[in-house]
Every structure is written in structure tokens, then in C-alpha cells.
């Protein structure tokens, strides 16, 4: 896998744009009229206040408490960075809040407490208890984290969970269940060695003991060696609980004959010799970050039978906490849990382990660019498996109900699983999938407008993210100056700058162009001017001759103007069946609108072509196409000559015998709303349409721009479909991220 390179400038820009930080808060109720304000605040708000005062459990009904988690830290142990203080930890805690939302639709609020005094920290969190449905503690150093968590668990009536401890432990346990399944061993019989007796290490060993590992079989080590009975140096009450009666004194001695190694320590702590001395089918979880205790390559060089996991995404079997905490809290919140107990953690681990043993859906394999099947290199599910949301929380909820942790048990688990499926935003997995496919393709991407800073930033990101080679069309001094002005001066040496003056192919390009345009009023002088001076034409000629794999353009000129130049080189017009499809991403839905680029006023045959092109784009994005031909009329009423073609277009598709759902003509609400569709029991769509074929380009433009400006929809496109080569045309108000998205689509050959 190509590793991506992130620069400090990119990381800062990501947190600065489009607004400082990583999330915002939006109301879920209307706040437009005086009546809305009266209901939301005074006097209407008094009613739920009194109801909650009389029956506190109704807070889960009338407030957001039941889906709100506090991500709390004092910044004393930030990632691998150490004690950065409360304010220095805020970007990490914001990031954790965003992960809660992205993976399990849990609202997270970050809270940074400016104290290293455990008592003050405990008091502050305890006083905030009424606000939240759960507390996620983060990046607090040991041993204070043990005191803080234990006290808060005893004194609060909502789940308190220190993710650095238990999140790691849960994923570690899930992986170990499957590693032992492969090697045919039982946890009760395994000799387990832990290196690193901090928060995560002790939580791992405690959870494994709760799952059946025997105390005497578990050897914990720290920087002073084996934690044995009678040892006094570097001890505390949490380490003492795991001291064993053993003559072993060093990690090297402990590793001899061990079945399992768990590392939450430092790079290089384990040598090949130690791995060689382990038992048959050794399990090695080298989880030190950013570099493991021993690399998988080093371990497998001496033990081909080893089953290895690390904390890194560029190796198989990543022990990633994001597989645990979002779903643990989702399940706990949905039963209004008093706590997250060991049984709930074990249920989470077992559900994860079971999921890894099931067949992996195609979209997951596609997203990772390889087939994933249960075995030594796949013992833990991937974080982007869409099944996690509806398999793990129900297991957690069941365990919470069985152990009495639930205030409000779930009655219909089948219905609960369906609501979990509906919670997830499909757009994220689709974007993840196309990014993975682009990374796999390693396309040479031509960025036509190298005079624009946004395009240059996108080109640099394309290459540094490991997606492929960026070819920028522009003048070298100009590109260099603009990159330096953007704080990316070091990228000058990385990207390739191409222009008519430095290519050896110009004569070939001009001859090709002359053959295409000589009977369209262009002489040799015109051809030279087009090929040598217009970067859109030059870029298209590069692509036509295989000197790049995809082309991104349009950021600096109107799309109609760019299309005119593209058509000098390619047949990208209505006559040859090209079409533009724009994807709207909004509130977890994807709807495509077509044609947004090519056809000014399509007839019924054109509309049928546009529908087929759009269905192809939808399938490229991993969607099952459902096409609606939309108008101001529904199935012939009100009658209008202008709507007749929308009525005929489905008949054209019927005659062609296409293999996707379609219906029309219909209004947009009928196309998108299943309840509205119920009024027409004869209609053929099995769900909301995800492709809207509109009557003309002006209606497409109005629809897209209205959704963008009024609803804040994310726009991808227009995606040019039906051309021999992969070309994507951005809108002139695109950001660097938008341009990068279009490059990713071009790399995947979407359309």
C-alpha cells in the first residue's frame, strides 16, 4: 500500500477551513416563528422541565441526554505526545467527538478540564452528570486515570469509560478470540505475556482474566521487568493486583514458551529471538504507537506461524479503538444504561470477533482494494465495515439488559437493528470506497489549471495522499511561486510540471488536432494556438495520447466554455451520448441530478440516454440505481406539452429493456418520498429514487445550486459520463477539497 504523506501545513489547513475546529452544533427543531421560540424556550419549555423534575427518567425523552456523550480530558497523556495540557488536547477531543458521530451517530461534546488534581477532575465531571448520557475519559495519565475512572464509576449513574484503557482492551480481546480460534487454543490454557503495565495494558489483562485467562498464566512486565510477588520497586496497587509468584525476572525469560504477547509499550521492546522462543502458533499483538514493539516483517522472518496485530493501518489486523467505543456507547445509550460493565465489553469483543469470521461484503473489499477473508491476516473487522453499526450495539445492549445495567430495556431487537441501519450515513462509506479504489488505481492525474492555487493544493494532496502521480499543466516559475505562497514550497520537487514548451509531443498533438478540426474552420495557425497556448486543449491532448490517465479541469472557467475546448479533442457532446451527472450529498442521502452539463433541451431519446449514463455512474459509486423522470406533473396530471417528453422517456427505457428501476413522470416529492409514492400503488420504484432526470439543463442547474446554497448540500460533480477517457470538470467555485474529490472520481474512471 502506498503510504500517504501529511505535512504540518495541510494538517493546520484542515483544522482551519472551512471554519476553525471540526464540528458545529445545529438545532433539530424549527426556530423560525414566534411560536417556535415560545415552544423551545419561554413559556413552553416549562412543561418538559416540570415533567423531568417529577420523573427524572423522562430527561431521555425530552432532552438530548440520551444521545450525548462528554469526551473529557486534562491533556496529561495526549496520544504519543505526552502532557500537552488541557487546551493542547482540544483538537484530539474534538476529533474523538467527530468519530462518535461518524461511526455511531452519537453526539459527542469535548470538555477539557484545566487541572491535574484527580479530586478536582472527579468533582467537575460528577457535577456535569445531569447533562450527559455517558462520559468518555480520554488521554489522562496513569495512575490518576485509574483513580478518576473508578471513583466516577462508583459515584455516577451513567456509563463512565476510559477509552485508552478499555477501548484498547476490547479490540485486543476481539482479535485474541479469533487468533485462538485459528490456532485451536483455549484462553484458559494460554500463557500470556503483557509488556507495558500502564492504563491500556492493565485493562487488557483484566478483561482477558474476566474472559477466562488464569491469573498464574498471565505475566505482566514493565520497564523494571516482570511484576512478581515481593517486588517493591516501581509498584502501585494496580500493578500489585497482577503480581504472580514466579522466578521469571525479564521479558526475555517470560516470552519463552508463551502463547500470547500483548505489547502496549515501546518500539523495539521485542527481539526476533524472543519471538523465536514462543510456543507454536504464537499470537503477537505489538500495539505500541506509532511503531510496534516488533514489526510484522521481523516477527514473520523467524516465525511463519505467528498471528500478528499492530496499532497501524498499513499492516493487517489493526487494533483500532474506533471499532469499540462508538458502538459500546451506542448500545449503552439506547438502553439508558447505568454503566458499561465487563459483560458489555466482552459482548462487544465477541460480536467483533464473530463479524470478522463472516463473509466480507464486496463494498468493504472494494474499499480496501483487496479481498478480505477470515484468517491470519484478517482477525479483526475493518473500521469501515458498514455492518458494525447494526451488529455490535445490539450485542452490547443485550448484555446490559441481561446484567441489570439497563434503565429502559429494548423490547423489539429486530426493530432496533433496523433503526441502527437507518442511522448510518451511506455517503461516508461510498466516499471511502472511491478513495480506496483511486489509491489502488495509482492514476497519473492531469491538473489542467496549474495557475490556480486551489488546483495546486489539490494536486499536491493527490500525490501526497498516495493516490498517484500529479501532472500539473503550467509554467514552472509560476507554479513554484504559487506553491511557496501557499506554504507548500517543498512540493515543487514532488509534482511534475508540464507545458507546451517542455513536452516533446507537441508536433504529435498538433497533427492529431489538425486532423479533427481541419474541416471545422481551423487552419494550422489556429491549431498551434489551441494546442500550445490553451491549457484545457493541451491537457485534453495529453490525455488522448495516453500521457496521463485522467484529467481534472474547470476550476477557472465556466463549464460550458471548458466543454467547448474538450470537444476539440474528444466527442464529449450530446450527439455522441455524453452526459453530466451531479451527486448531491445531504443528511445521509445521495441523490443524483442529470443532465447538469451537456444537454440543453433533451428529447425523450436523450432523456433515456441520460438515465442510462446516470445509472452507470450510480453503480460506479456502489449504489443500486432508481431513476425518476421528474417534472411539475405526476403520471399525466396536470397535462402539459412541456411535460410530454418526461412521460415518454420511461417508455423508451421500457422498449430498450434496461436492467434498473425507473418511473415517471413525477414530481420530486413523489420521487423521493415513499409515503407520497403510496398514493400511486401502480408505480414501479421499490424505494426513494436516487437519480432524478430533469427536463433541461436550466432546471438541473437551479436544483443543484438551490440545494447547495439553501440546504448546505455537498456537491460532487458534474461527473462527465460517456466519454472514452476519464475527464472531470469542476465548478468554478470549487475548493481544493472539491477539486481533489473530482480527481479521485477521475482516477476511479467513474462515468
The answer to whether the CB of 330 falls within 8 A of the CB of 347 is no
Active-site hit among 96, 185, 209, 239: 96
The reply to whether 416 belongs to the active site is: no
Helix/strand/coil percent split, the chain, to 5? 50, 15, 35
Cα distance between residue 359 and residue 195, in whole Å: 34
- Burial class for 214, CB neighbours closer than 10 Å (0-12, 13-18, 19+): middle
Sheet holding 468-473, edge to edge: 496-498, 468-473, 443-447, 550-553, 726-729
Q: HSE on the CB side for 51, CA within 13 Å?
A: 12
For cell 479533427, the residue is: 516
Helix (H, G, I), strand (E, B) or coil at 265: coil
Phi-psi region of 105 (alpha: psi -120 to 50; beta: other; left: phi over 0): left
Give buried/exposed letters for 675-687 (b at 16+ CB in 10 A, else e). ebbeeeeebebee
Whether residue 17 contacts residue 486, with contact meaning beta carbons closer than 8 Å, is answered with no
**One of 3, 5, 22, 41 is an active-site residue; which one?**
41
3-state secondary structure of 136: strand
> Which residues of 544-685 form beta strands (DSSP E)?
550-553, 579-586, 589-594, 626-630, 661-666
Q: Is the dihedral of CA 432, 419, 25, 91 positive or negative?
A: negative
Sheet holding 626-630, edge to edge: 661-666, 626-630, 691-693, 589-594, 579-586, 714-721
* CA–CA dist 132, 148 (Å, integer): 17
Q: Is 96 a catalytic residue?
A: yes
Rounded to whole angstroms, the Cα distance separating 705 from 708 reads 5
Sequence-ordered alpha helix ranges (H) in 128-162: 144-155
Query: Under DSSP, is residue 268 helix (H, G, I), strand (E, B) or coil?
Result: coil
Task: Find all residues with CB under 8 Å of 623, minimum gap 6, and list them.
Answer: 430, 590, 690
How far from each other are the two terminal CA atoms of the chain, in whole angstroms?
25
Output the nine-digit C-alpha cell for 588.
445521509
Strands 260-263, 283-286: pairing is parallel
Integer Cα distance of 434 and 452 in angstroms? 25
- Region of residue 225 (phi > 0: left; psi between -120 and 50: alpha; otherwise: beta): left
How far is 287 from 284, CA to CA, in rounded Å? 9
Of 158, 161, 128, which is closest to residue 66 (Cα–Cα)? Answer: 158
Give which of 533, 530, 536 is closest to 513, Cα–Cα: 530
Residue 111's H or E segment, with its range, is strand 107-112
Peptide bond into 428 cis (omega under 30): no
- Give the integer Cα–Cα distance in Å for 251 and 162: 27
If phi over 0 gives left and psi between -120 and 50 gives alpha, with beta otherwise, what is residue 622? left
Q: Is the peptide bond before 629 cis (omega within 30 degrees of 0)?
A: no
3-state secondary structure of 721: strand
**Helix (H/G/I), strand (E/B), else coil: 169:** helix
d(CA 388, CA 635): 41
Question: Which residues 6+ apart lie within 8 Å of 597 measured at CB?
Answer: 559, 563, 579, 580, 697, 718, 720, 729
Catalytic (active-site) positions: 41, 96
Amino acid at each position: 500500500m502506498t503510504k500517504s504523506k501529511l505535512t504540518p501545513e495541510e494538517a493546520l489547513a484542515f483544522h482551519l477551513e472551512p471554519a476553525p475546529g471540526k464540528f458545529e452544533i445545529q438545532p433539530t427543531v424549527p426556530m423560525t416563528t414566534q411560536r417556535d421560540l415560545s415552544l423551545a424556550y419561554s413559556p413552553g419549555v416549562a412543561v418538559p422541565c416540570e415533567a423531568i423534575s417529577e420523573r427524572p427518567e423522562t430527561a431521555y425523552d425530552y432532552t438530548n441526554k440520551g444521545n450525548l456523550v462528554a469526551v473529557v480530558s486534562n491533556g496529561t497523556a495526549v496520544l504519543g505526545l505526552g502532557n500537552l495540557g488541557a487546551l493542547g488536547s482540544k483538537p484530539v477531543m474534538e476529533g474523538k467527538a467527530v468519530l462518535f458521530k461518524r461511526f455511531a451517530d452519537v453526539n459527542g461534546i469535548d470538555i477539557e478540564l484545566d487541572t491535574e488534581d484527580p479530586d478536582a477532575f472527579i468533582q467537575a465531571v460528577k457535577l456535569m452528570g445531569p447533562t450527559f448520557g455517558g462520559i468518555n475519559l480520554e488521554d489522562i495519565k496513569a495512575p490518576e486515570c485509574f483513580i478518576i475512572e473508578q471513583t466516577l464509576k462508583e459515584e455516577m449513574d451513567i456509563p463512565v469509560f476510559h477509552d485508552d484503557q478499555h477501548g484498547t482492551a476490547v479490540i485486543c480481546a476481539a482479535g485474541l478470540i479469533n487468533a485462538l480460534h485459528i490456532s485451536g487454543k483455549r484462553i484458559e490454557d494460554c500463557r500470556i505475556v503483557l509488556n507495558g503495565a500502564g492504563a491500556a495494558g492493565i485493562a487488557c489483562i483484566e478483561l482477558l482474566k474476566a474472559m477466562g485467562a488464569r491469573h498464574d498464566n498471565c505475566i505482566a512486565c514493565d520497564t523494571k521487568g516482570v511484576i512478581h510477588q515481593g517486588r517493591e520497586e516501581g509498584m502501585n496497587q494496580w500493578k500489585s493486583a497482577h503480581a504472580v509468584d514466579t522466578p521469571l525476572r525479564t521479558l526475555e525469560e517470560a516470552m519463552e514458551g508463551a502463547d500470547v504477547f500483548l505489547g502496549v509499550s515501546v518500539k523495539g521492546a521485542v527481539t526476533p529471538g524472543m519471538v523465536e522462543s514462543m510456543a507454536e502458533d504464537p499470537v503477537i499483538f505489538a500495539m505500541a504507537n506509532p511503531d510496534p514493539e516488533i514489526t510484522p516483517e521481523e516477527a514473520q522472518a523467524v516465525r511463519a506461524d505467528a498471528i500478528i496485530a499492530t496499532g497501524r493501518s498499513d499492516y493487517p489486523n489493526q487494533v483500532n479503538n474506533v471499532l469499540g467505543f462508538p458502538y459500546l456507547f451506542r448500545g449503552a445509550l439506547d438502553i439508558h444504561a447505568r454503566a458499561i460493565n465487563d459483560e458489555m465489553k466482552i459482548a462487544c469483543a465477541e460480536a467483533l470477533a464473530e463479524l470478522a469470521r463472516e463473509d466480507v461484503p464486496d463494498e468493504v473489499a472494494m474499499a480496501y482494494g483487496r479481498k478480505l477473508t477470515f484468517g491470519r491476516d484478517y482477525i479483526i473487522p475493518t473500521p469501515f465495515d458498514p455492518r458494525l453499526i447494526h451488529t455490535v450495539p445490539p450485542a452490547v445492549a443485550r448484555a446490559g439488559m441481561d446484567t441489570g445495567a439497563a434503565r429502559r430495556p429494548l423490547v423489539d431487537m429486530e426493530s432496533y437493528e433496523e433503526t441502527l441501519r437507518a442511522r448510518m450515513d451511506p455517503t461516508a462509506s461510498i466516499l471511502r470506497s472511491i478513495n480506496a479504489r483511486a489509491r489502488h488505481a495509482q492514476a497519473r492525474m492531469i491538473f489542467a489549471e496549474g495557475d490556480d492555487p486551489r488546483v495546486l493544493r489539490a494536486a499536491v494532496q493527490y500525490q501526497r495522499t498516495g493516490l498517484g502521480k500529479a501532472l500539473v499543466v503550467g509554467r514552472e516559475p509560476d507554479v513554484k511561486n504559487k506553491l511557496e505562497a501557499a506554504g507548500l514550497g517543498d512540493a515543487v520537487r514532488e509534482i511534475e510540471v508540464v507545458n507546451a514548451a517542455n513536452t516533446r509531443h507537441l508536433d504529435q498533438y498538433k497533427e492529431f488536432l489538425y486532423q479533427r478540426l481541419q474541416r471545422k474552420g481551423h487552419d494550422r495557425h489556429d491549431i498551434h494556438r489551441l494546442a500550445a497556448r490553451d491549457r484545457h486543449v493541451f491537457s485534453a491532448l495529453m490525455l488522448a495520447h495516453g500521457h496521463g490517465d485522467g484529467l481534472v479541469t474547470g476550476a477557472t472557467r465556466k463549464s460550458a466554455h471548458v466543454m467547448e475546448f474538450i470537444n476539440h479533442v474528444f466527442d464529449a457532446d450530446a450527439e455522441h451520448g455524453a452526459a453530466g451527472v451531479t451527486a448531491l450529498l445531504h443528511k445521509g442521502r445521495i441523490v443524483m441530478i442529470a443532465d447538469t452539463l451537456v444537454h440543453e433541451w433533451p428529447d425523450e431519446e436523450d432523456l433515456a440516454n441520460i438515465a442510462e449514463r446516470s445509472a452507470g455512474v450510480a453503480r460506479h459509486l456502489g449504489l443500486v440505481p432508481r431513476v425518476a423522470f421528474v417534472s411539475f406533473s405526476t403520471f399525466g396530471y396536470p397535462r402539459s406539452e412541456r411535460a410530454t417528453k418526461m412521460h415518454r422517456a420511461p417508455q423508451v427505457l421500457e422498449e430498450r429493456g434496461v436492467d434498473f428501476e425507473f418511473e415517471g413522470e413525477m414530481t420530486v416529492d413523489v420521487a423521493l418520498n415513499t409515503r407520497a409514492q403510496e398514493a400511486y400503488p401502480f408505480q414501479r420504484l421499490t424505494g426513494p429514487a436516487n437519480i432524478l432526470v430533469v427536463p433541461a439543463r436550466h432546471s438541473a442547474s437551479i436544483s443543484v445550486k438551490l440545494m447547495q446554497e439553501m440546504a448546505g448540500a455537498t456537491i460532487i460533480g458534474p461527473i462527465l459520463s460517456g466519454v472514452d477517457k476519464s475527464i472531470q470538470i469542476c465548478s468554478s467555485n470549487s475548493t481544493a477539497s472539491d477539486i481533489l474529490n473530482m480527481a479521485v472520481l477521475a482516477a476511479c474512471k467513474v462515468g
